Amino acid sequence: MSTQPRPSTPRAPSPQQAPSPQEAPSGRKDGSPRQGPRTQRRRRRGAERRPRFAIAVTALFFLLLYLPVGVVVLFSFNAQKSLTVLDGVSMRWYTALLHDDVLLDSLGMSLRVSLVAMAGSLVLGVALALGLVRSRSRLGSFAGLIMLVPLITPEIVTGVAAMLLFKGLGITLSTTTVMLAEITFSISYVTVILRSRIAALNPEVEEAAMDLGATRGQALRLVTLPALLPSILASAVLIFALVFDDFVLAYFTTGVDPQPLSVRIYSAIRFGVQPTINAVGTLMLAGSIGLIVLALAIPRLFGRRGGLDLLSGK
Amino acid sequence: MATRSDRTGTAVRTPRDPAAPKAPPGDRTGPGAPPRTRTRTRTRQPRLWTWLLLPGTLWMTGFLVASLLLVATLALGTTDPLGNPRFGLNFANLTALADPAYSTVLLRSLGYALITCLISLAIAYPVAYAIALRGGRFKNLLIAAIVVPFFANYLVRMYGWSVVLSDDGPLLRALRAIGLADDSTKILQTGVGVIAGLVYGFVVFMIIPLYAAMERMDTSLIEAGRDLYGGPLRTFLFVTVPATRQGAAAGCVLVFLPAMGDFVSAQLMGGPDQIMIGNLIQDKFFQGQNWPLGSALTMLLMAVLFLGMLGYLRRTRKDEAEAAR
């Protein structure tokens, strides 16, 4: 016992410690008023050493993560056209936006597409998720398989495929085709999110409802769906934000006029920079960040678990 | 206990395990259900649940599976003199892929996507480590701060990033000020710019699985490594990395897939000589109007990614087999 902590004392001057710069400062600064034998305390601290390098990289990462976003927001208020020199503050580009009918049309179209895709994918996705968890038919394993396809296929492939399908069927690309493609793409997300939630529900509650005389449909409507409501709402918000921001799929399935906002931004960026884009971008950033924060907060607003676990990964 | 299971997303399993260890997981009928209910659910259950499966499955089959099959068939098609696609059984498109011009682009895409994976790993390991092990009560907030901007419009973020990286943008100006760059240094219009764009676009896909793996990791392993005189670097390489390699593998797949298919980064950050396979596909469908060749290129992309996925699946299966032993 007593020999174990001993070697910790000569650790500091040992050659292994020499190249680690974080040893000396952290050893002293972390000095909590904890009592104990000197050697033991030292070992403790050694184990709890702050990973300075990792923390420095994280700080730099956060800086670079938010720098581009900050630049867009900052220059949306620039009085001049420049993208490198700030020259006074003005709302000039926002007012320009209000008079840009093309952009406003695109905004309206994006909102319509997002709403329709949200509604459509929720109806299909919730039903699919329920079926996937509860049904043991062979259709379920097939559905479970194809539902994963959009998640492991790059968007450019699904985009090309959807475009070829519509053209092959002789359907002119339009707002409707964008909606259809976005619904297809969103069903997977709804299903993945809700599937784990449904699996986590206690099926005995449903059975209790049926023992009390409810039919299976009533149990589903009166017991299961209300229990899933926070998750459904959270995925609705998430789908809205994802579809509104989606570019690749919209790019391949949109017609001539109007085009979704992200497609419009794409052509604006490609053919010379326009400062209005900073203003549109800022509004879009604010909108989607607000929606995502809302999606993350919904389970908390309901005061119960069962919302959207974005953070725990798939 | 409840909060714990909620956080990991694995639900109610944990609290019940010690009480009923013999109940097989996934048994949804409930051990104490009276036989009467059971027969009732047996007869009604399949029909309702299968009916619920039907619309979504039909939709996905009609729009997704059919459209992907269409791409595969059109890859064997031709174009008529007017430029309209014709179905057929023609391998000219597939042999055209052997053209060195295409293989150069494919190799470049593979290289860029791989480098993007490596750089993302190099960024994600310290970030996930710092947040998972040192985040304290700010953990969730910090992860949310990483995830939230990622959901913001991809184009707007890329555009902001291209402004940051531009020749007189903040990054190069800062580098020049500290003498790390001179006036001729460029990031945009180079391969470095394209990779920087890809990393910025997809690094989150690496951080999240790695973070999840680090959270699950037994931190006493790190202390043990330190107690055994491992320096920070050695402990990291021989303890932390092996313990989180599944998260890293998942992250690599999640970064590699979209990076291979991306065409925005190469367009905004690179130049005409930096195009990736995504740009080729886009070009064949919009400018070139050669849909069969575009389809063939799409299938080539899918084939490359499929091989990558196979490698990943074999790897994880091996890991799982080892863990089960």
State how far the Cα of B319 lies from the Cα of B325, in Å rounded to an integer: 10
Residues 289-308 of A with CB under 8 A from B: 289, 292-293, 296, 305
- Quote the number of domains for chain B: 1
Return the SS3 of A78: strand
- A95: Cβ–Cβ under 8 A, 6 or more apart, which residues? none
- B79: Cβ–Cβ under 8 A, 6 or more apart, which residues? B85, B86, B289, B290, B291, B292
Q: Is B149 part of a structural domain of the chain?
A: yes
State how far the Cα of B99 lies from the Cα of B92, in Å rounded to an integer: 11
- Residue in A with minimal Cα distance to B300: A157
Q: What is the pLDDT of residue B83?
A: 66
Closest CA to B105 of B277, B264, B258: B277
Q: What is the pLDDT of residue B36?
A: 45
Query: Is the predicted ipTM greater than 0.90, yes or no?
Result: no
Q: What is the pLDDT of residue A49?
A: 63
Q: Band of the pLDDT at B211, cuts 50, 70, 90?
A: very high
Q: Is B240 part of a structural domain of the chain?
A: yes
Q: Where are the beta strands (DSSP E) in A214-269?
A: none
Determine, for residues B302 and A68 on separate chains, whether the beta-carbon distance falls below 8 Å: no
B1, B13, B36, B53: best mutation site toward chain A, by most A Cβ within 10 Å?
B53
How do residues A14-72 score in pLDDT, each as one tens digit? 444 444 444 444 334 444 444 444 444 444 444 456 788 899 999 999 999 999 999 99
- Residue in B with minimal Cα distance to A10: B229
The minimum CA-CA distance between B149 and chain A, rounded to whole Å, is 7
Q: Is the pTM of this model over 0.90?
A: no
Q: What is the pLDDT of residue A264?
A: 92
pLDDT greater at residue B36 or residue B246: B246
Answer whether A262 touches B (CB < 8 Å): yes
Answer whether B50 touches A (CB < 8 Å): yes
- B64: Cβ–Cβ under 8 A, 6 or more apart, which residues? A146, A149, A150, A158, A161, A184
State how far the Cα of B169 lies from the Cα of B200, in Å rounded to an integer: 16
Determine, for residues B134 and A134 on separate chains, whether the beta-carbon distance falls below 8 Å: no
Residues 254-273 of B with CB under 8 A from A: 257-258, 260-264, 267-268
Q: What is the pLDDT of residue A1?
A: 39
Return the SS3 of A83: coil
For residue B254, the domain's CATH number is 1.10.3720.10
Candidate from B143, B152, B160 with C-beta closest to A311: B143
The minimum CA-CA distance between B83 and chain A, rounded to whole Å, is 14
State how far the Cα of A101 lies from the Cα of A20, in Å rounded to an integer: 60
Q: Is B46 part of a structural domain of the chain?
A: no
The burial class, CB within 10 Å (0-12 / 13-18 / 19+), for B55 is middle
State how far the Cα of B308 lies from the Cα of B103, in Å rounded to an integer: 18
State how far the Cα of A175 lies from the Cα of A257, in Å rounded to an integer: 9
Q: Is B162 part of a structural domain of the chain?
A: yes
Q: Is B299 part of a structural domain of the chain?
A: no
- For chain B, what percent of residues have pLDDT higher than 70? 85
Return the SS3 of B71: helix
**Res B219 pLDDT > 60:** yes
Closest CA to A162 of B304, B66, B279: B66
Answer whether A119 touches B (CB < 8 Å): no
Least confident of A186-200, A213-227, B111-125, B214-228: B214-228
Q: Is B26 part of a structural domain of the chain?
A: no
pLDDT under 70: residue ranges of chain A = 1-49, 272-273, 303-314
Q: Is B63 part of a structural domain of the chain?
A: no
Query: By residue range, what is the domain housing residue B111?
Result: 101-289
Q: Band of the pLDDT at B4, cuts 50, 70, 90?
A: very low
Determine, for residues B11 and A20 on separate chains, whether the beta-carbon distance falls below 8 Å: no
For B180, other C-beta atoms within 10 Å of its C-beta total 10
The minimum CA-CA distance between B242 and chain A, rounded to whole Å, is 18
Q: Is B52 part of a structural domain of the chain?
A: no
Q: Band of the pLDDT at B33, cuts 50, 70, 90?
A: very low
**Res B286 pLDDT > 80:** yes
